[in-house]
Every structure is written in structure tokens, then in C-alpha cells.
């Protein structure tokens, strides 16, 4: 099927700056028409990956394929993809129209075509009539839209977006997220999005690539990444969670903090140390005698949609989100449904330990 | 509270009125009066008299040439220094500005020593059996002196303008399909124009008005407009004519600034 | 290849800028009186320079002038800059314009305008007139050094100090002044060097009995270059070099010292 066609392939890419290894033997492919997000903390190599795709960095090792062709050493101006830069990078000495026309004029497109394109692009980003304004007179959100318009008039096969919403305030950021999804659907092109904001990634992406310290930690749909994190780093990075050391007694049975829970996971072997992830909204608070573990509520904060509580039970501070409130000091029981316990292998080598979570 | 703070500027208010505004008015007063304090245009009009007009013409010509050479020499240098390739470019720019802090007269004296008939350059040329250079006391030597003395004034603003350009803007141009040449013409050069303008002003004004360089390297044979004015004041004691010529000179400075400012605005658009 | 070409170009310009200065330094140690020949190493020009009473007098005048004019300009300029920062736009426009006039105008015009003023008030041309002239062209440098620092200061820090019970003056000296101090120091040193370097304005503001190093060099050069002048050049270049290094590194040293003290303080808190 055309939809699953691999448009871009990064093959064994390594890159270091000085002594610092930024990308280590990275393999990744990007399908046509997908919204793929590289997600990770700063310094994880996500921006470097984007810059290698854009042609602004050359990998030390490895090959970049576009549509089956090796483009590793192709300069940026010859690549069929365009970038939306972090701080917009608008040409401050040109009007909005001239900014948008830049790429088309370079390609010697006819004047009427360029005019039409400018109109179309401004309409697309909801900024009709801004042709003769200068970039400095626009707000951050408007500048960001112009940066997107400037990129898409060139009809790139792939749009690279480098933390484009990072400089905007919260409300504007949320509006722009919907805008970007709409744009992607209208244009029908591939979006490669780089961000450190997990919420942004979950909202917009078809596929999320979680990265840390130059390695890919997990690739998957937002649901999969959220519900079934493959390791403690991913679990911790995506949303709040209870990450607890546990022992897999046997298939479908896990011992957490001395109590036995039924789980849906199998294949870890007998009496194996594992990490389990339980999302705070999946922890059920019940009467003490109905719970598997008993504890006491130590903190309550009202969060609007729900209450956030901390429960001290069996030496662990459980983070719990619930719509019903239990006052501080209430003895409670804790219950977790089997399918809400996500079991993960413990990191094996010290090297992997380093990428793990800090408590 | 606000008024109290304004009081801090009071000494400067007095000072600027007494030593900047009034002296400037005095030039205009002397420039438009004769020795009996009667109003006249004669002093200003005397610029078209043979010797004066010739001096102004040579001054403008030499200042233009010197400015042009400064631009041609400085632009590539500032571009290289501002480029990411050079490490410690801040230190490098310091090295280039340092000679500017050497006393102006001594710097010019140095060129006199180098260029003289039996000077250092000719000694070296002679030693290499090359033809000797006879440019001391010619306009060439004056232009050389101007370029040497004012070159740092061009390097610094150009470097500042070029190094202020956000690298991602250059990457954006490349990303949108421009090759390195197109990127330079459409993005880098227009963004460096403010620096170029202030460089041109900072070089052309002192070059146009100098009398020291022409004195020391022109051997007193070539009179620039600066020399004419200096002589009116220090030798002929004709302050009226001297002031009249100064007014013309200020007009040219204003004109140069106006032109460059206008070009600056037009430089805003491209293609 | 491209990188080599770039380096070569940078070196070439450096050679152009430094060759004359190096020549002066070398010639200052040349025993032969004609600069065409190397007559062996000597320090005798330095010795005779220091025995030359006129040069020593000029040196004393120059240094005193630079020190006094820089001090007074720093006082007036800093006060003006502090006021200008919170001034109503219209009043501020006057100060900005007046500050720009001496910066943009030709030195020769500034020089003769002051000369006309001193003539009009029948002042005796001498040290006081030169000092007034130097203060006048130094104030703008102080203002331009202090004003940006003043803009950077955080107003709410000053208001917080007032809120905590400080008087405006106490709040200013305790929380605002330390922030602008680097600008004040830079303005002082910039003024000092500008005064050291000036020839043109001094030339018009001085009387016959008084000489600064610059005016002394000018008259000496007209009479014919003496090797003592090379020795003087070398010494002046070294002095300026040391001054510039001090100006550029004192703020850094200060910063490091502060940092050290802060960490010491924090460590003290732990105990």
C-alpha cells in the first residue's frame, strides 16, 4: 500500500560533536504522509537527527535515503524537504510576501503563480492580508504561521518542524497544535516534528519516537507509548507514573512491594526482578479491607478535573488521580486492574542504567 | 521623583548648550557675516572659487576612493572573522582594532617613514632589485594613509552586523533552495547593510575632512578642503571664510548621511 | 584550500595593519640616524627622549589632560545617562541629538566651533580651553557606554529596594550603581584614550605655549623626523596596549572574584 511506503530511511547514523556522541548508530524510517514526532529531553539527539535530514549536518557514519536515493551529502538547497525553524528564522529585511515568495523566486516560478501561492498560503495559515507587513510587526504565533507558510509553498514532500511551538505561550500552543493537525490533513504531506513536550507529541502524532542520549528508546503510536512504555525512561518521560521495582513470580503474577498482583504479562520467567509502571489514574482507592495493599492518604491537591493524592503504602509513595476525594489521614486500600500493570525488563548493563530514571 | 531625576541631566544640559550648541551657532554666525558683522553669502559662496573648489573636488574624490577600498578590503575580512570557522573571533577582532588605539599621528608618521624615497619599502624593493616606489607626496600616498587610518572603522561595524545574523536565517535560505551565492546576495548582504552604512559614514567623514594626512603624506603640495579651512583659521585668521567653508563641509557630511540613510531604507527590499 | 585562502587573506590584512607599527618599533632601536640603514641596537633614543624637557612637558600635559577630562566627563556623562534612561521622550530627544553632534560631526568642525567660542569670550588659549574641549568630546563616549547598561538594569530591583525601606539614594547606590559600574569604568577609559589620542580638536583649542604629545609630534614631524619620535611611538603603543588589556580584562577579573566570593559565602552558609 502506498500509505505505508518508506519515504525516508536513516541507516546506521552516527554523529558526534567533539568528544560528545550525539547519535549512536541510529536506524529510523519515516512513512509517507505520517505525522512523526521525535520526542526526548534536550541533548537526546532529536534536533541533530532533524538537522541531518535537512542537510545542515553531515553524519559521521551512515546513510540518509530519500525515496530510495542516497541524499547524505546533498546540500540543503537541493533537498525536497523544508524546515520550520525553532525561532522562525524569518528574513527581517523582507515583507511577509517576500518571505513566502523566497523559495519560489529562487526556482524562477512565474509571477502570477507566486502571487497565487502567497494568497493560498496566507489563507491556509489564517493570515490573509498580511502580505505587506514586516516580520517584526507580527506576534510570535503569527511569525510561526508565516514560517510554516514560507516552507509549504515550495510543496515539500516532508516538512521538518524543529520545536516550532516552543516560544509560544500555553493557550497559543494548544491552538497551534490543532492548526498543525489540520494543515497536515489538508496538505497530505509528511510532518517530522521535534519536541520535548510529551503532551504535544501525544496530541498530534501518528507515530512517536522517544529518544534519549542518542538512542531510540521506543517507537510506536501515542496510545502504545503511553499505555505500554517499554522501559522506565519512556514511562517516566511520558506523563506521571508510579514506577516500582517488583518481582515477576511467574507468568501473570507479579509481586509489588510484598503484595501479589494479577497481571496480563507473561514470558519474563520465574522470580525475575522487573519494573512495573502503573499510571496514577489506574490506581483504584477502595476500603482498606477490599484493597490488595493498605495505606494512608498523605497529600491531597485539587486539580480541577480530578484530585491528585499521595498514598503511603508498603513503604512507597503512590501517586493517585481520582475524581473522588479521600481526606488526608484516611486509611485506604489500593487495587489495580491486571491490564493496568505494565511490566518492563530491568535495565541490564550499567550503560542502560545511565539512561534510566532518576527518582 | 521624576523631575528630581531629570536634575541629574542639568549639568550636561548647561554643558551641551555652552560647548556644543552655541559654538555650532557661532560657525553659522561667522559663516554668514563679513568682518563688519553684516550678513553675506560671500563666505559660503567662496567654495566655488578656483582653489577652494579644486580642494573640495580632490577631497571628495580621495574620500570616495579611500572609502571604496576600505569596503573592498574589510568586507571579506569581516565575513571571514564572523564565520563559524574561526575560533575566538572576538580576540581576532581585538587584534584588528588594536592599531586604531595607536596615536593617529604616529600611525601616519609610520607611513611617511615607510614610503619615503629612501624609506623602508624602497630599501626592500631595492634589495630585491625591483623598481622603487615613488608615491610619497602624491594623492596615492594620501589615499593609502586614509585607508590605513580608517580601515578599523569599517571592519568593526561590518563585523558586528555580520556576526549578529542568526545562523538559522542563513540555514532557512539554504533550506528554501538558495545556493551559497543566492543566500549571500538575498539574505546575508542585505542584513549587513546597516553595518556597511555606518562603516561608510565612519570612514568617509574623517577622510573628507582630514588635513593631517594630506599634510604629512602629501608633503603640503596637495590641499584638501580640510587644509584650506585649517589655514583660514590658523594662518590667515579669516574666521568668516573658514566658517563659511565649514558650513559647506557640514552640508556634505549631512548629504552623505542622508544618502546612506536613504539607501539603507531601500536596501530593505530586494530582488 | 578555501580555509587556507581565508587565513592568508586575514594574515595579509594583519600585515598591512601592523607592518608600520613594527617598523616604528624596530627603528626606535636603530643606532644609525638614517632609517635606511641598520646601525645596530641602541637605547640611546629612549635616553634622549627622557632628557628632552619639551617632550616630557608634553607628556605631563597629555596625561593630566586625559585624567582630568575623563574624570569630569565621567561625572557629568554618568549623571546625564542615569537621567536620560527615565526621561520623557521629547526631552530625551534633545539629549540624544546633542550627544550625537560631536560623534557624527567632523573633528575639524568641532575644533573650530570651540575655537570661535573661546575667541568670542576672549579666553586665553591654554590648558583650561583644551580641557574644556576634551571634556566636551568625551561626555558622549561616557553616555554611550553607560546608557546601554542603564537600560539593562532591572527596574523592579530598584523598586524592591525602596519597598524594603531604602531611601532612593541608598537604593540607587546599593542596587543600581553596581550594575552600571562596568559601563562607567568603560566610559572613563574610553574617554581617557580618546583624550590621549586627540590631535585635531586640541590643535584648534590650544594656545602657542602649550603642547600635548600629539601636537608636539605634529610640529616635530613638520621639522623632520627625529629618531626620538620612534621611541615615543613605541612607548605610547605599549602604554595603550596595556591600558586596553586592563580595560578588557578587569571586568572579567572582577566577575571571577565576585564569583569566588559568592561561592565562599555560600559555603560559609552550609557550615
CA quadruple A281, A285, A291, A293: dihedral sign: positive
Helix extents (H) in chain B: 2-6, 10-16, 22-31, 42-45, 50-82, 89-97, 104-115, 120-127, 139-164, 167-175, 180-183, 189-209, 212-217, 225-234, 239-266
**CATH class of the structural domain A240-349:** mainly beta
The B residues from 175 to 214 touching C (CB cutoff 8 Å) are: 201, 205-206, 208-212
Is residue A89 less than 8 Å (CB to CB) from chain B?
A: yes
Structure confidence at residue B265 (pLDDT): 52
C241 touches chain B (CB under 8 A): yes
Q: How many helices (H) and strands (E) does chain C have?
A: 12, 0
Tell me C124's DSSP state. Answer: P
Q: How far is B197 from chain C (nearest CA, A)?
A: 13
CA-based nearest distance B214→chain C, Å: 12
Report pLDDT for A15: 94
- Position of cell 553607560? C146
Is the pTM of the predicted complex or chain greater than 0.90? no
What pLDDT does residue B122 have? 84
Of C9, C135, C241, nearest to B77 by CB-CB distance is C9
- The C-alpha atoms of residue C232 and residue C210 are separated, in whole angstroms, by 19
Q: How far apart are CA A78 and CA A85, in angstroms?
A: 18
Q: Residue A96's pLDDT is what?
A: 95
Residue A257: left if φ>0, alpha if ψ -120 to 50, beta else—which one?
left
The shortest CB-CB distance from B11 to any of C79, C168, C203 is to C79
Cα–Cα distance, A139 to A137 (Å, whole number): 7
d(CA B123, CA B136): 14
ipTM given for this complex: 0.86
CB contact under 8 A, B20 and C193: no
Q: Has residue C185 been placed in a domain? A: yes
Same-domain status, C117 and C218 = yes
In this structure, the answer to whether residues C185 and C127 fall within a common structural domain is yes
Residue A259: CB atoms within 10 Å = 15
Dist. CA C78–CA C140, nearest whole Å: 10
Q: What is residue C268's predicted lDDT score, i.e. its pLDDT?
A: 39
Q: How does DSSP assign A16-71, residue by residue?
A: EETTEEEEEEEEEEEETT-EEEEE-STTSSHHHHHHHHHTSS--SEEEEEETTEE-
| Count of other CB atoms within 10 angstroms of residue B14 | 11
Residue B30 touches chain C, beta carbons under 8 Å = yes
CA–CA distances in Å: residue C206 to residues B212, C62, C194: 16, 12, 17
The fraction of chain C above a pLDDT of 70, given in percent, is 90
Q: List, for residues B117-150, the tens digit of each pLDDT value.
A: 877 888 888 888 888 888 888 999 999 999 999 9
One domain, residues B109 and B16: no
User: Which residues of chain B lie closer than 8 angstroms to A76, CB-CB?
Assistant: 171, 174-175
Contact across the interface for A91 and B176, Cβ inside 8 Å? no
Q: Answer yes or no: is B271 within a domain.
A: no
In a domain, C264, yes or no: no
One domain, residues C29 and C148: no
Q: What is the CATH number of the domain that holds B141?
A: 1.10.3720.10
Cα A84–A86–A90 angle (5° rounding)? 65
Instruction: Nearest chain B residue to A97 by CA: give it.
Output: B269
Has residue C268 been placed in a domain?
A: no
State how far the Cα of C37 lies from the Cα of A9, in Å rounded to an integer: 72
**Does B131 lie in the same domain as B14?**
no
Give A301's strand partners: A308
B12 — contact with chain C (CB < 8 Å)? yes
- The count of structural domains within chain C is 2
Contacting residues of C for B104, CB less than 8 Å apart: 197, 199, 214
What are the cell numbers at C2?
A: 578555501
pLDDT band at C265 (very low <50, low <70, confident <90, very high): very low
Q: What cell was used for B247? A: 558650513
Residue C139 lies in a domain: yes
Residues C2, C81 share a domain: no
Pairing between strand A81-84 and A158-162?
parallel
The Cβ of residue A220 has, within 10 Å, a number of other Cβ atoms equal to: 18
Q: Flag the least confident range among A180-189, B172-181, B236-245, C239-248.
A: C239-248
Q: Are residues B132 and B254 in the same domain?
A: yes
Q: Note down the domain range covering B245.
A: 43-266
- Number of domains, chain B: 2
B79 in reach of chain C (CB within 8 A): no
Contact state of B168 with A87 under an 8 Å Cβ cutoff = yes
Q: What is the pLDDT of residue A66?
A: 94
Please check whether residue B158 lies inside any domain of the structure: yes
- Packing angle, helices B89-97 and B139-164, rounded to 10: 160
Question: Are the beta carbons of B105 and C217 separated by less than 8 Å?
Answer: yes
User: Are C37 and C68 in a shared domain?
Assistant: no
Q: Which of C80, C232, C237 has the CB atom closest to B12's CB atom?
A: C80
- CA dist B29 and B240 (Å) reads 9
CB B12 within 8 A of CB C79: yes
**What is the distance between the alpha carbons of residues C221 and C241, in angstroms, rounded to a whole number?**
24
Residues C193 and C240: beta-carbon distance below 8 Å: yes
Domain ranges in chain A are 2-227, 240-349
B171 Cβ contact list (under 8 Å, min separation 6): A54, A56, A76, A83, A85, A89
Statement to judge: residues C37 and C66 lie in one domain: no
Q: Is the pLDDT at A357 greater than 50, yes or no?
A: no
Domain match, B102 and B11 both: no
Closest-CA distance, A91 to chain B, in angstroms, reads: 7
Buried-state track A48-63, b at ≥16 Cβ within 10 A, e below 16:
bbbbbbbbbbebeebe
What are the backbone angles phi and psi of residue C230, rounded to the nearest 5°? -65, -40
Cβ contacts (< 8 Å) between B268 and chain A: which residues? Answer: 93-94
Mutation to test the B interface, candidates A47, A56, A91, most B Cβ within 10 Å? A91
Residue B101 sits at the chain C interface (C-beta within 8 Å):
yes
Q: C167 or B203: which carries more pLDDT confidence?
A: B203
Same domain, C34 and C82: no
Cβ-Cβ contacts under 8 Å for C182 (sequence gap 6 or more): C149, C251, C254
Is residue B166 domain-shared with residue B240, that is, in the same domain? yes
Note whether residue B166 is domain-resident: yes
Task: Tell whether C196 lies on the interface with B, counting CB pairs under 8 A.
Answer: yes
Q: Is B168 on the interface with A (CB under 8 A)?
A: yes
- Please tell me whether residues B26 and B53 are part of one structural domain: no
User: pLDDT, tens digit, for every residue of A88-118?
Assistant: 899 999 999 999 999 999 999 999 999 999 9
**Chain A: partners with 3+ C-beta pairs within 8 Å:** B
Q: How many CB atoms neighbour CB A275 within 10 A?
A: 20
Q: Give chain C's length.
A: 271
6-45 of C, contacting B, C-beta below 8 A: 6, 9-10, 13-14, 16-21, 23-24, 27, 34-36
Shared domain check, C82 and C6: no
| Chain position carrying cell 520550520 | A84
Q: Which domain holds residue C83?
A: 53-259
Beta bridge partners of B237: none
Report the distance separating Cα B105 and Cα C218, nearest Å: 7
- B-C Cβ pairs (cutoff 8 Å, strict): 217
Q: Is residue C30 located within the same domain as residue C152?
A: no
b (16+ CB within 10 A) / e for B114-142: bbbeebbbbbeeeeeeeeebeebbbbbbb
- How buried is residue B107: exposed, middle or buried, by Cβ count under 10 Å (0-12/13-18/19+)? buried
Q: Is the pLDDT of residue C261 over 70?
A: no
pLDDT digits (tens, 9 = 90+) for A172-194: 888 888 888 988 888 889 999 99
Distance between B16 CA and the closest CA of chain C, angstroms: 7
- Between the CA atoms of A147, A149, A150 and A153, what dihedral angle is there, to the nearest 10 degrees? 160
Within a domain: residue B38? no
Backbone dihedral angles phi then psi of residue A10, each to the nearest 5 degrees: -100, 120
Q: Inter-chain contact C19–B250, Cβ cutoff 8 Å?
A: no
Same domain, yes or no: B169 and B140: yes
Shortest CA distance to B220 belongs to which of B69, B55, B110, B103? B55
Q: What is the CATH number of domain A2-227?
A: 3.40.50.300
Residues B25 and B51 grouped into a single domain = no
Counting CB pairs under 8 A, whether chains C and A reach 3 or more, is no
**Has residue B264 got a pLDDT over 90?**
no
- Report the pLDDT averaged over residues B78-92: 73
Which residue of B1, B6, B8 to mutate against C (max C Cβ within 10 Å)? Answer: B8
Identity of the residue in A95, A106, A150 whose CB atom sits nearest the CB atom of B178: A106
Q: Which of B172, B177, B268 is opposite residue A93, by nearest beta carbon?
A: B268
Q: Is residue C138 part of a domain?
A: yes
Q: Are residues C1 and C83 in the same domain?
A: no
Interchain contact, B73 vs C120, CB within 8 Å: no
Three-state SS at B269: coil
Residues C212 and C96 in one domain: yes
Residues of A in contact with B174 (CB under 8 A): 55-56, 75-77
pLDDT tops 80 at residue B25: yes
Q: Are residues B4 and B119 in the same domain?
A: no
Structure confidence by residue, pLDDT tens digits, C188-215:
988 998 898 899 999 999 988 899 989 9
Residue C36 pLDDT level (bands cut at 50, 70, 90) = low
- Residue B3 pLDDT grade (very low, low, confident, very high; cuts 50, 70, 90): low
Between helices C44-51 and C227-270, what is the axis angle to 10°? 90
Pair (C16, C76) in one structural domain: no
- Tens of pLDDT along C74-104? 999 999 999 998 888 888 889 998 998 888 8
Least confident segment among A220-224, C31-35, C180-184, C227-231: C31-35
Amino acid at each position: 500500500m502506498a500509505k505505508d511506503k518508506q519515504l525516508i530511511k536513516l541507516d546506521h547514523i552516527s554523529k558526534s560533536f567533539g568528544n560528545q556522541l550525539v547519535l549512536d548508530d541510529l536506524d529510523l524510517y519515516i512513512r509517507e504522509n505520517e505525522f512523526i514526532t521525535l520526542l526526548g529531553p534536550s541533548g537526546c539527539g532529536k534536533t541533530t537527527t532533524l538537522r541531518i535530514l535537512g542537510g545542515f549536518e553531515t553524519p559521521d557514519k551512515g546513510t540518509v535515503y530519500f525515496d530510495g536515493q542516497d541524499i547524505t551529502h546533498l546540500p540543503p538547497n537541493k533537498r525536497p524537504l523544508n524546515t520550520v525553524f525553532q525561532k522562525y528564522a524569518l528574513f527581517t529585511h523582507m515583507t511577509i510576501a517576500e518571505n513566502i515568495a523566497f523559495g519560489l523566486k529562487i526556482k524562477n516560478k512565474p509571477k502570477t503563480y507566486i502571487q497565487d501561492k502567497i494568497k493560498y498560503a496566507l489563507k491556509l495559515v489564517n493570515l490573509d492580508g498580511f502580505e505587506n507587513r514586516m516580520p517584526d510587526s507580527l506576534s510570535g504565533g503569527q511569525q510561526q504561521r508565516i514560517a510554516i507558510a514560507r516552507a509549504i509553498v515550495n510543496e515539500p514532500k516532508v516538512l521538518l518542524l524543529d520545536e516550532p511551538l516552543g516560544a509560544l505561550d500555553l493557550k497559543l500552543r494548544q491552538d497551534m497544535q490543532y492548526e498543525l493537525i489540520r494543515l497536515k490533513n489538508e496538505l497530505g504531506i509528511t510532518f517530522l516534528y521535534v519536541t520535548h513536550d510529551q503532551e504535544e507529541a501525544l496530541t498530534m502524532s501518528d507515530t512517536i519516537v522517544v529518544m534519549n542520549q542518542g538512542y531510540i528508546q521506543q517507537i510506536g503510536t501515542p496510545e502504545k507509548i503511553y499505555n505500554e512504555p517499554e522501559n522506565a525512561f519512556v514511562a517516566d518521560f511520558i506523563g506521571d507514573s508510579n514506577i516500582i521495582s517488583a518481582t515477576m513470580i511467574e507468568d501473570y503474577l507479579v509481586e509489588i512491594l510484598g503484595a501479589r498482583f494479577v497481571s496480563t504479562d507473561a514470558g519474563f520467567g520465574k522470580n525475575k526482578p522487573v519494573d512495573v509502571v502503573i499510571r496514577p489514574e489506574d490506581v483504584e482507592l477502595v476500603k482498606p479491607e477490599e484493597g490488595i495493599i493498605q495505606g494512608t492518604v498523605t497529600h491531597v491537591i485539587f486539580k480541577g478535573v480530578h484530585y491528585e493524592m499521595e498514598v503511603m503504602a508498603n513503604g512507597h509513595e503512590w501517586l493517585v488521580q481520582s475524581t473522588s476525594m479521600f481526606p488526608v489521614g484516611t486509611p485506604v486500600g489500593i487495587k489495580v486492574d491486571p491490564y493496568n500493570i505494565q511490566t518492563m525488563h530491568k535495565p541490564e548493563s550499567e550503560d542502560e542504567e545511565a539512561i534510566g530514571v532518576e527518582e | 521623583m521624576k523631575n528630581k531625576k531629570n536634575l541629574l541631566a542639568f549639568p550636561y544640559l548647561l554643558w551641551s548648550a555652552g560647548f556644543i550648541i552655541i559654538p555650532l551657532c557661532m560657525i553659522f554666525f561667522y559663516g554668514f557675516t563679513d568682518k563688519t558683522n553684516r550678513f553675506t553669502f560671500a563666505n559660503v559662496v567662496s567654495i566655488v572659487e578656483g582653489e577652494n573648489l579644486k580642494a573640495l573636488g580632490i577631497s571628495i574624490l580621495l574620500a570616495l576612493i579611500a572609502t571604496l577600498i576600505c569596503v573592498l578590503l574589510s568586507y571579506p575580512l569581516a565575513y571571514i572573522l564572523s564565520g563559524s570557522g574561526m575560533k575566538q573571533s572576538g580576540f581576532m577582532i581585538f587584534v584588528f582594532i588594536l592599531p586604531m588605539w595607536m596615536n593617529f599621528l604616529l600611525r601616519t608618521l609610520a607611513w611617511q617613514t615607510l614610503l619615503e624615497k629612501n624609506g623602508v619599502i624602497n630599501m626592500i624593493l631595492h634589495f630585491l632589485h625591483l623598481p622603487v616606489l615613488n608615491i610619497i607626496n602624491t594623492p596615492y600616498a594620501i589615499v593609502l594613509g586614509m585607508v590605513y587610518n580608517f580601515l578599523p572603522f569599517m571592519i568593526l561595524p561590518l563585523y558586528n552586523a555580520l556576526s549578529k545574523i542568526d545562523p538559522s536565517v542563513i540555514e532557512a535560505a539554504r533550506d528554501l533552495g538558495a545556493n551559497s551565492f543566492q543566500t549571500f546576495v538575498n539574505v546575508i548582504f542585505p542584513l549587513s547593510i546597516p553595518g556597511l552604512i555606518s562603516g561608510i559614514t565612519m570612514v568617509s567623514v574623517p577622510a573628507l575632512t582630514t588635513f593631517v594626512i594630506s599634510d604629512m603624506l602629501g608633503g603640503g603640495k596637495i590641499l584638501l578642503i580640510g587644509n584650506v579651512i585649517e589655514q583660514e583659521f590658523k594662518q590667515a585668521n579669516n574666521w568668516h571664510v573658514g566658517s563659511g567653508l565649514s558650513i559647506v563641509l557640514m552640508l556634505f557630511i549631512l548629504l552623505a548621511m542622508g544618502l546612506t540613510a536613504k539607501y539603507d531604507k531601500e536596501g530593505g527590499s530586494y530582488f | 584550500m578555501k580555509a587556507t585562502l581565508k587565513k592568508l587573506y586575514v594574515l595579509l590584512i594583519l600585515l598591512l595593519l601592523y607592518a608600520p607599527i613594527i617598523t616604528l618599533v624596530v627603528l626606535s632601536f636603530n643606532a644609525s640616524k638614517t632609517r635606511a640603514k641598520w646601525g645596530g641596537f641602541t637605547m640611546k633614543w629612549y635616553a634622549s627622549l627622557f632628557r628632552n624637557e619639551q617632550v616630557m612637558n608634553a607628556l605631563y600635559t597629555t596625561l593630566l589632560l586625559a585624567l582630568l577630562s575623563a574624570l569630569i566627563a565621567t561625572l557629568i556623562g554618568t549623571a546625564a545617562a542615569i537621567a536620560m534612561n527615565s526621561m520623557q521622550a521629547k526631552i530625551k530627544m534633545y539629549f540624544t541629538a546633542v550627544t550625537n553632534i560631536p560623534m557624527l560631526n567632523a573633528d575639524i568642525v568641532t575644533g573650530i566651533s570651540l575655537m570661535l567660542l573661546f575667541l568670542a569670550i576672549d579666553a586665553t588659549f591654554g590648558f583650561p580651553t583644551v580641557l574644556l574641549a576634551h571634556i566636551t568630546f568625551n561626555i558622549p563616549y561616557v553616555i554611550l557606554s553607560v546608557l546601554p547598561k542603564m537600560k539593562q538594569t532591572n527596574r523592579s530591583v530598584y523598586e524592591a529596594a525602596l519597598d524594603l525601606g531604602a531611601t532612593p539614594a541608598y537604593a540607587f547606590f546599593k542596587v543600581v550603581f553596581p550594575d552600571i559600574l562596568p559601563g562607567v569604568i568603560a566610559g572613563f577609559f574610553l574617554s581617557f584614550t580618546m583624550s590621549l589620542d586627540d590631535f585635531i580638536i586640541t590643535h584648534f583649542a590650544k594656545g602657542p605655549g602649550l603642547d600635548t604629545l600629539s601636537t608636539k609630534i605634529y610640529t616635530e614631524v613638520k621639522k623632520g623626523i627625529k629618531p626620538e619620535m620612534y621611541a615615543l611611538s613605541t612607548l605610547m603603543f605599549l602604554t595603550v596596549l596595556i591600558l586596553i588589556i586592563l580595560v578588557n580584562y578587569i571586568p572579567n577579573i572582577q566577575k571571577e572574584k565576585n564569583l569566588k566570593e559568592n561561592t565562599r559565602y555560600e559555603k560559609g552558609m552550609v557550615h
